[in-house]
Amino acid sequence: MASGVTVSDACKTTYEEIKKDKKHRYVVFFIRDEKQIDVETIGERNAEYDQFLEDLQKGGTGECRYGLFDFEYTHQCQGTSEASKKQKLFLMSWCPDTAKVKKKMLYSSSFDALKKSLVGVQKCIQATDLSEASQEAVEEKLRATDRQ
């Protein structure tokens, strides 16, 4: 079910700056006036994951957000002694249980529009609390897509 919410050009531009140019580490999106997904916060390239989580929750306990993060980790293939550095872009839908039902419905029904406009995102993650959004949980989900 589509919500009719559109994705602003700023979202697409910022995404390209992260994906191609590696200018930023992350971006947090929000839905403006129930009509358009727009950029709320952009994280510096040297920003840590904790800062991303902080910015995701900046709106308060009743607010949903989307976040895109350029995640880096080391991966060691079986049978090799060297580890390689990997980068994966993931898109997170942050809808805490404390958010109002109408807001959660708007964000979940608009998630597809954002996913379709950000071509090349490797993984989409839906989180309702910090245990699902934690660095460990995210890394586990991203590693599950690696070849062993």
66-78 pLDDT, tens digit per residue, is 999 999 988 777 7
For residue 88, what are the contacts with CB-CB under 8 A and spacing of at least 6?
A: 70, 71, 122, 123, 142, 145
Which pLDDT tens digit goes with each residue over 98-146? 999 999 999 999 999 999 999 999 999 999 999 999 999 999 999 887 7
Neighbours of 90 (CB within 10 A): 19
Strand partners, 27: 42, 68
Task: List the domains of the chain with CATH numbers.
Answer: 6-146 (3.40.20.10)
Over residues 22-58, the pLDDT tens digits come to 999 999 999 999 999 999 999 999 999 999 999 999 9
Per-residue pLDDT of 103-115, as tens digits, reads 999 999 999 999 9
**Strand, helix or coil for residue 24:** strand
Q: What is the pLDDT of residue 2?
A: 61
pTM: 0.92
* Cα 35 from Cα 64, distance rounded (Å): 15
